[in-house]
A and B are shown apart, each in its own frame.
Chain A
Amino acid sequence: MAASSPVPSFYLDPQIRDWVLFPITLVMILVGILRHYVVLLLQSPPKRLPRAAIREQRALVQSNVLRATASNSPIPFFFYKSISQNLSKAFADGTYLKDGPSKGDAPAAPPNPLTDPAAMDGMMAGMKTQMVMMVPQMVIMGWINFFFEGFVLIKLPFPLTLGFKSMLQRGVQTPDMDVRWVSSLSWYFLNFFGLNGLYRIILGGENAADAAQNMMASPFASAGAPQAGAPQDFGKLFKAERDNLEFAEGLHKWIGEDVEDRILRKYGRAAS
């Protein structure tokens, strides 16, 4: 069925295995662990916000939590309503806002992300992580291309289409050879994708060496952070939150509501 008779398989020098296969894998594992620790060391401790700013954020969080638990609420309706209305009033008056209640005349301009120090820190941290991720990848790829080029490294146990030939057999100029014989760069790619699980076991779940997570995070983080980050207009958020609070008040249901009947029913002594 193949164009040629059964292809005699190559014999590869075991020294290739010792000096290329294992070293590449070892280096990638170690560089991954190194990346994780570098990111950890580079992270500056989170900036301490002034009390007013923290209060602003926490008020929103409290309101969110209150609403989220409204339908299975552990507090009876009377208390729920008092907390909820207190928050509503505070949001309307703007007492929780960082700069005090709004003056009312000119709408406050959202702080420019380039000059606002809080936003800058967030963006810098993201960019630092990206650099630490990308630079070792480039370096390792360059290292592999320079030193380990021009020979076949390993045979893949599964077939691939001819389209992969140019990518996987980079240094080897043989148009006829089976795509399953690949060069070192493809071993690099296999390691790149396959070692994430290993990092997770060694470094724990939240490790900074996870390649796929970083690739997904980077386009969103660099594009989305300036919008969703610092210039959050808490005034508008508070107004929206007031409406949500009102809506949630209607949904409120205390989990202890019919508890007497439920207990009686559970023990088989229901009244009716």
Chain B
Amino acid sequence: MSTPDEAAQRVFGPNVLHNANLLYDIKFISSCLSGAVAGILGLENWLGFALFLAATLFTTAILHFVTFRGRPKKYVYGGLLEVVNPGQENAFSFILVWTLFYGIVHVYD
């Protein structure tokens, strides 16, 4: 019943920031851990990226059902779409950790 502008005005800035930071940290840790899993399992090429995608979706599902209790719009302004997006930096972190563990486990004796 309120216009999107009015609704946007009622959003409290510091809370949004806090939530966004928390979400970013969760996504980062999830990327690192999935990178480690991909590296240890020795996944290559698209299999590794598929694991990244699966891990992202899994994290989002947990966030959606447990943390947000089924109502992401209440906690995140962009809704579920914003929650799913891992962000470019986390993708790089995934690749970094993936390469690291792949090297440690499979390349070095």
A, B assembled together: yes
Chain A residues with CB under 8 Å of chain B are 9-14, 16-17, 21, 25, 68-69, 71-72, 153-159, 187, 190-191, 193-198, 200-201, 205, 212
User: Distance (Å) between the CB of B93 and the closest chain A CB?
Assistant: 4
Closest CB in chain A relative to B46 CB, distance in Å: 8
Question: Footprint of A on B, CB under 8 Å?
Answer: 5-6, 9-10, 17, 21, 24-25, 28-29, 31-32, 38-39, 43-45, 48-49, 88-90, 92-100, 102-104, 106-109
Q: Which residue of B lies closest to A14 (CB)?
A: B108
Given contacts A157-B38, A196-B93, 15 further A-B contacts (CB under 8 A): A14-B108, A17-B103, A21-B104, A157-B43, A157-B44, A158-B45, A158-B95, A194-B89, A194-B92, A194-B93, A195-B93, A197-B93, A198-B28, A201-B29, A205-B17
For the complex, give the distance between the alpha carbons of A254 and B38 in Å. Answer: 56
Chain A contact residues, majority secondary structure: helix
Q: Which residues of A contact B17 (CB under 8 A)?
A: 205
User: Please, how many angstroms separate the alpha-carbon atoms of A155 and B99 in the complex?
Assistant: 7
What would 25 A/B residue contacts be, using CB atoms closer than 8 Å?
A11-B109, A14-B109, A17-B103, A17-B104, A21-B100, A71-B5, A154-B99, A154-B103, A155-B106, A156-B99, A157-B38, A157-B45, A157-B48, A158-B45, A191-B96, A193-B96, A194-B94, A194-B95, A194-B97, A196-B89, A197-B32, A197-B89, A197-B90, A200-B21, A200-B25
> CA separation between A155 and B98, bound complex, in Å?
11
Chain B residues positioned under 8 Å from A212 (CB to CB)? 88-89
The list of the 4 closest CB pairs from A to B, nearest first, reads A194-B96, A197-B28, A193-B92, A154-B103
Establish whether residues B95 and A190, one from each chain, have CB atoms under 8 Å apart when the complex forms: yes
Chain B residues whose CB sits within 8 angstroms of the CB of A200 once the complex forms:
21, 24-25, 28
Q: Are B44 and A158 in contact (CB under 8 A)?
A: yes
A68, B103: Cβ atoms under 8 Å? no
Nearest Cβ on chain A to B29's Cβ, whole angstroms: 8
CB distance from A51 to the nearest CB of B (A): 28
State A161–B100 Cα separation when bound (angstroms): 21
In the complex, the answer to whether A72 meets B31 with C-beta atoms within 8 Å is no
> From residue B18, how far is it (CB to closest CB) to chain A in Å?
9
**Chain B contacts of A191 at CB under 8 A?**
96
Q: If A71-B9, A159-B45 touch, does A201 touch B28 (CB 8 Å cutoff)?
A: yes
B106: nearest residue on chain A (CB-CB)? Answer: A155
Chain B residues, Cβ within 8 Å of A158: 44-45, 48-49, 95
**A16-B103 Cα distance, complex, nearest whole Å:** 11
Q: Which of A10, A157, A187, A205 lies in contact with B102, CB distance below 8 A?
A: A157
